[in-house]
């Protein structure tokens, strides 16, 4: 007998028909003799709707109350799915995050799971019950509800799979697996049978929302046997694992991230310690800096340009002003109309022409590159947001030509 964790995202439980379909999948898994722990997200656009409601009442609400509100979405889903399973005569119990033992740190809206206390889960499993757990939520040391960041139910599922030493963790969603690009945006995208944790982590971190990046990080750390598959079409999905069989594919996928703002700090003194002064202030504010570009010094000054998530624009401004109090408005330029396009693949490590192939595809599509960054298995470029979809298609077509 195996223990299987199955996670169903918002679109998979969007309405009664979907919930019943999910119940059918869970029931079949249970009927095969497996222990089943299910994680569900809020139905459809519920989380977005709750966030809109919060902003309507008070756009400056505290993060604690934010979590109190948005965690409600998952509570609805677990009860509905449990009811659907009761209807077909199965032993089931729904549990909120805290009831399932999720304890987190206190970083409201982006909390990290610290531990899962397994007693309750184990006792329900001992009674052969199907457990339906609310994703995306936990409890901090003050007994306040926290949430794990958008898309956090994936992380809840992987964390449960790791804690319970599950035989596999299946992430059911509205597409049939991980593709070489978002299959809803790029018609020629190809489904991957397998992908490594490292490649998936880069794709997820670069905007491929099919898996939350923290969930992949955790799956790698605990070697969780992970599969992404469809809740609608019953067919094998994409396996995410440590090492995959060698394929000729140079890159595994193209991703787009619109959650980027480009910040330029101009006319800084061209002397040692300037970058440290700026980036240490940003680090102290926990700002996640991505691409960094420093101009060559000219006439005793230099410019530093970097990207941060949209939500960090104000912190970036505060950090720059704290580091350089004489900074004028003319010397601090912010542009939110940018997108980051990335290609990811372990194959590029041994292929020096990969970057130039990407740049050629962008040149042929007449798209200007504003910034570039590379790592061993990833190349990212910053482009104008209005060119972003065209850029993804052009780059995808170059690496995955349609016959």
Q: Which residues bind ligand ASP (CB under 6 A)?
A: 9-10, 41-42, 47, 73, 135-136, 150-154
Between strands 301-308 and 292-294, the pairing is antiparallel
Site for ligand ADP in 139-178 (CB under 6 A): 151, 173-175, 178
Give me the sheet containing 194-196, strands edge to edge: 92-95, 130-134, 35-40, 3-8, 168-173, 226-230, 238-241, 194-196
Site for ligand ADP in 28-67 (CB under 6 A): 41
| CA 146 vs CA 45, 54, 103, 190, 289: distances in Å | 20, 16, 9, 37, 25
The answer to whether residues 174 and 9 touch, using CB atoms and an 8 Å cutoff, is yes
Site for ligand ADP in 252-311 (CB under 6 A): 253
> Which does residue 150 touch among ligand ASP, Mg ion, ligand ADP, none (CB within 5 to 8 A, set by kind)?
ligand ASP
Entry field: residues in the chain: 403
Q: In the complex with ligand ASP, which residue's Cβ is closer, 69 or 348?
A: 69
How is residue 126 written in tokens? 């001992």
String marking each residue 196-215 x if it binds ligand ADP according to CB under 6 A: ------------xxx-----
To which residue do tokens 């372990």 refer? Answer: 346
User: Nearest-CB residue to ligand ASP?
Assistant: 153
Residue 114 DSSP SS3: strand
The answer to whether residues 186 and 253 touch, using CB atoms and an 8 Å cutoff, is no
Work out whether 9 is an interface residue with Mg ion (CB under 5 A).
yes
Please state, in angstroms and rounded to a whole number, the distance separating the CA atoms of residues 311 and 332.
17
> Which does residue 44 touch among Mg ion, ligand ASP, ligand ADP, none (CB within 5 to 8 A, set by kind)?
none
> Which does residue 174 touch among ligand ASP, ligand ADP, Mg ion, none (CB within 5 to 8 A, set by kind)?
ligand ADP
Cα atoms in the 13 Å half-sphere on the side-chain side of 69? 18
String marking each residue 95-134 x if it binds Mg ion according to CB under 5 A: ----------------------------------------
Q: In the complex with ligand ADP, which residue's Cβ is closer, 274 or 346?
A: 346
Q: List interacting residues with ligand ADP (CB under 6 A).
A: 9-12, 41, 151, 173-175, 178-179, 181-184, 208-210, 253
């Amino acid at each position: 007998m195996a223990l299987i964790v199955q996670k169903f995202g918002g679109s998979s439980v969007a309405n009664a028909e979907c919930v019943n379909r999910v119940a059918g999948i869970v029931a079949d898994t249970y009927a095969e003799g497996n222990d089943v722990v299910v994680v569900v997200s809020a139905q459809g656009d519920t989380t977005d709707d709750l966030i809109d409601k919060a902003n309507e009442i008070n756009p400056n609400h505290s993060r604690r109350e934010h979590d109190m509100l948005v965690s409600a979405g998952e509570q609805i889903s677990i009860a509905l799915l449990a009811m659907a399973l009761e209807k077909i005569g199965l032993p089931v119990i729904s549990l909120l995050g805290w009831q399932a033992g999720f304890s987190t740190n206190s970083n409201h809206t982006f909390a990290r799971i610290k531990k899962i206390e397994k007693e309750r889960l184990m006792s329900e499993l001992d009674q052969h019950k199907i457990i339906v757990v609310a994703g995306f939520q936990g409890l901090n040391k003050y007994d306040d509800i926290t949430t794990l960041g958008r898309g956090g139910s994936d992380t809840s599922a992987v964390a449960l799979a790791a804690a319970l030493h599950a035989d596999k963790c299946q992430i059911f969603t509205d597409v049939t697996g991980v593709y070489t690009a978002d299959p809803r945006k790029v018609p020629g995208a190809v489904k991957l049978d397998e992908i490594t944790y490292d490649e998936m982590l880069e794709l997820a971190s670069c905007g491929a929302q099919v898996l939350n990046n923290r969930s992949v990080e955790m799956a790698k750390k605990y070697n969780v046997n992970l599969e992404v598959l469809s809740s609608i079409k019953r067919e094998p999905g994409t396996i995410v694992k440590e090492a995959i069989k060698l394929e000729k594919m140079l890159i595994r996928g193209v991703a787009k991230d619109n959650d980027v703002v480009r910040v330029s700090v101009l006319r800084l003194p061209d002397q040692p310690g300037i970058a440290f002064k700026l980036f240490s202030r940003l680090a102290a504010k926990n700002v996640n800096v991505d691409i960094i570009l420093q101009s060559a010094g000219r006439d005793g000054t230099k410019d530093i340009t970097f990207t941060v998530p949209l939500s960090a624009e104000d912190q970036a401004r505060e950090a720059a002003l704290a580091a350089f109090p004489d900074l004028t408005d003319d010397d601090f330029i912010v542009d939110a109309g940018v997108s980051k396009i990335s290609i990811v693949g372990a194959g590029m490590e041994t292929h020096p022409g990969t970057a130039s192939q990407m740049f050629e595809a962008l040149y042929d599509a007449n798209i200007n590159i504003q910034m570039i960054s590379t790592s061993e298995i990833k190349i990212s470029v910053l482009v104008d947001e209005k060119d972003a979809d065209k850029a993804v298609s052009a780059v995808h077509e170059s690496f995955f030509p349609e016959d």
